[in-house]
A = this chain, B = another copy of it.
Amino acid sequence: MENQVHFNARIEGINYDILDDLVGYAVRRAQLSIYEDFAASLAAEDITPQRFSSLVIIGNNPGISQTRLAEVMGIARSGVVSIIDRFEASGLVERQASGDRRSYNLHLTKEGQKQLKRYKKAVENHDSRISSALSASEKQQLKSLLRKIGLREEDR
């Protein structure tokens, strides 16, 4: 057996130089430790941040098409195919016929709604845990600052 891989934001005795000044690196670091906790928290479930987001989007935007979902997730349409194939196989999502016979309307099944409820609780717990060093107002502030990232002139 080999040693486990684990991301530790800060290693004693290492000079991080410019990395400490970069907003991008701080975000990346945070993201890695969040992902690690997410994976550990939901190891028992067949879910990832990506798949969880898809399920939430489908659940709250019933009838959405695969192309639109791809656009929301920022991934290629081909990627959505495998995500939905998987959900369909596990009975969480249905491809329903739409007026346009080229496309499907995506819907959660009863089982999908039930599972999503469970996942949401687990994800909420995970999110509280990783942000437990922040007060409610700090969390709000953090989210608001993060939303300003990547905004271009014309978006402000």
Contacts and interface: CB of A to CB of B under 8 A. Distances in A.
Grouping DSSP codes into helix (H, G, I), strand (E, B) and loop, the A interface class, with mixed when no group exceeds half, is helix
Copies in the complex: 2
Interface of A: 2, 5-9, 11, 14-19, 21-34, 36-38, 49, 53, 56-57, 59-61, 71-72, 74-76, 120, 123-124, 126-127, 130-134, 138-139, 141-143, 145-151, 156
A18 B120 contact: yes
A17 B74 contact: no
A134 to B, nearest CB: 6
Nearest to A73: B7
Given A8-B74, A133-B148, 17 more contacts: A7-B74, A15-B57, A17-B60, A18-B120, A22-B123, A23-B143, A24-B38, A24-B49, A24-B126, A25-B49, A26-B142, A26-B143, A33-B150, A34-B150, A36-B150, A133-B151, A142-B146
Given A9-B147, A24-B38, A72 B127 contact: no
Contacts of A145: 134, 138, 141-142, 145
Contacts of A27: 27, 30-31, 34, 146
